[in-house]
Amino acid sequence: MLCTHELKELKKEFMKPIKVGLLGIGVVGGGTYEVLRRNQEEITRRAGRGIQIAMVADRNIERAKEITRGECEVVGDADLLVNNPDIDIVIELIGGYGVAKDLVLKAIANGKHVVTANKALLAVHGNEIFKAAQEKGVIVAFEAAVAGGIPIIKALREGLTANRIQWIAGIINGTTNFILSEMRDKGLDFDVVLKEAQRLGYAEADPTFDIEGVDAAHKATIMSAIAFGIPVQFDKAYVEGITKLEAADIRYAEQLGYRIKLLGITKRMPNGIELRVHPTLIPEKRLIANVEGAMNAVVVQGDAVGSTLYYGKGAGAEPTASAVIADLVDITRLANADPEHRVPYLAFQPDAMENTPVLPMTEVTTSYYLRMHVMDQPGVLADVARILADATISIDAMIQREPEEGESRTDIIMLTHQTQEKNMLAAIEKINALPTVLGEVTKIRLEELT
Ligand code: HSE
């Protein structure tokens, strides 16, 4: 039993600012520093005590000193920060799987709570990191890792906790959404828009992770684990980017009442979990179909709540800082709570996780958009329709491009009802083999999102 004096001392100790170490003060780190400073008073009123960035580690010491204006210690050696006994929380904003992983594990081993925006790290090594954190009784928080400033992790893990989540579909990569919006607006091809996006700073000099769908797959992997109570399994995700999309498909999709978006999708099916990223036709009347430019949006379908939509900035200094600081406040409130009473890292209690399989892409069920370049002669359509009928694939809609004067070829565009991917692949192989079909069939998946 503590006496009144001791209780007062303990209370004073808790009222001291919690000390934070910042690994990396680039765009997001700088934003975090700035927002914390600007909104310090309100943040303290919410958190119950001050949150003080006491140390920053960055390779660029000069820049770090400029941003922090002598208010905190700046070091070049990140080990000094993760080993500093005065630091309670480490924010990791370095990115990637290498150094960041070592530093996060060291911080955890030293009993520090961790906030990270590193989706790649969590999607690939999350299970190991959460296990280490659980053993040490520390928190690993990662709101900023998925959809930047949108509080989607909080929504999935806490706000929707009553629900059996049925599916999630999200525009979770701003770079590709910007490129797709420009392609549609201006009727331009992918390569042209990518160069423009790089010139404007919307796309990185090396945009591979974004345009190949890897970044979106990292984020979808994390959401999948939280939604369904399964381990993070990036290696099981199907990943297809937007590099092969043609302006013609965006135009034809539009004629049929659809938009093409790069979606991260995860779905509960009777035989397992679907986890996939690919360009997707969605009906233009869905709100998410109208998310343009670099914005992000996520639709979550729960059995009790129905469909919910979350929209906002998925990247950038202050939007991402908003998520990082939300985690800091959560940790500040809970730092001294019994670990058993905290919200589990992945929403489900660690001993209640399930090993529901993630389905291979061939087992995924979806609808399709098919475009084929064909000879404009009798029987071509009948042959294609026969192959689809034999595969029990039902056609939902069809258009044929009006051939130019004297042209003997045309394009046929079909939308199908749902079928399994392996069924569609077999049918496409047969269609490709028809002598009247020129080149390969273009296939894009379609989701009604209802
Ligand atoms: N590169 C990402 C995007 C932001 O374009 O949305 C960080 O995940």
Q: Alpha-carbon distance 255 to 252, whole Å? A: 5
Q: What is the pLDDT of residue 8?
A: 61
Q: What is the pLDDT of residue 13?
A: 58
Q: For atom 4 of ligand 1, which residue has the closest CA?
A: 315
Q: What is the domain class of 152-312 according to CATH?
A: alpha beta
CA of 183 to the centre of ligand 1 (A): 18
Please identify every residue annotated as catalytic: 219
CA of 383 to the centre of ligand 1 (A): 44
Q: What is the pLDDT of residue 402?
A: 87
Q: For atom 2 of ligand 1, which residue has the closest CA?
A: 173
Q: How many helices (H) and strands (E) would you count in the chain?
A: 16, 17
CA of 210 to the centre of ligand 1 (A): 7
Q: Where are the domains of the chain?
A: 4-151+318-352, 152-312, 364-446
CATH number of 4-151+318-352: 3.40.50.720
Q: Closest ligand 1 atom to the C-alpha of 218?
A: 8
Q: Closest ligand 1 atom to the C-alpha of 209?
A: 1
Q: For atom 7 of ligand 1, which residue has the closest CA?
A: 315
Task: Dig out the tokens for 417 from the structure.
Answer: 């009802």
Q: What is the pLDDT of residue 268?
A: 98
CA of 148 to the centre of ligand 1 (A): 8
The whole-number mean pLDDT for each consecutive block of 10 residues of the chain, a chain of 450 residues, reads: 57 79 97 98 97 98 97 98 98 95 98 98 98 97 98 98 98 97 96 93 89 98 98 98 97 98 98 98 98 97 98 97 98 90 95 97 98 96 98 97 90 98 98 97 98
Q: Phi and psi dihedrals of 129, rounded to 5?
A: -70, -45
Q: Alpha-carbon distance 425 to 250, whole Å? A: 22
CA of 225 to the centre of ligand 1 (A): 20
CATH of 364-446 among 3.40.50.300, 3.30.70.260, 3.30.499.10, 3.30.70.980: 3.30.70.260
Q: Alpha-carbon distance 173 to 264, whole Å? A: 9
Q: Alpha-carbon distance 443 to 141, whole Å? A: 38
Q: Which SS3 state, helix, strand or coil, does residue 92 take?
A: strand
> What one-letter code names the amino acid at 248?
A
Q: What is the pLDDT of residue 335?
A: 85
Substitution site in 179, 215, 298 for ligand 1 pocket (most atoms within 8 Å of beta carbon): 215
Please give the model's pTM, rounded to 2 decimal places: 0.95
- Looking only at the bridges linking them, the beta strands covering 89-92 and 437-446 are unpaired
Substitution site in 175, 193, 218, 311 for ligand 1 pocket (most atoms within 8 Å of beta carbon): 175
Residues with beta carbon inside 6 Å of ligand 1?
Answer: 173-175, 210, 215, 314-315
Of 240, 259, 225, which is closest to residue 352 (Cα–Cα)? Answer: 225
Q: Closest ligand 1 atom to the C-alpha of 175?
A: 5
Q: Phi and psi dihedrals of 80, rounded to 5?
A: -60, -35
Place of tokens 């594990």: 105
Substitution site in 210, 222, 262 for ligand 1 pocket (most atoms within 8 Å of beta carbon): 210
Q: Across the strands, what pairs with 51?
A: 18
CA of 430 to the centre of ligand 1 (A): 38
Q: Closest ligand 1 atom to the C-alpha of 119?
A: 8
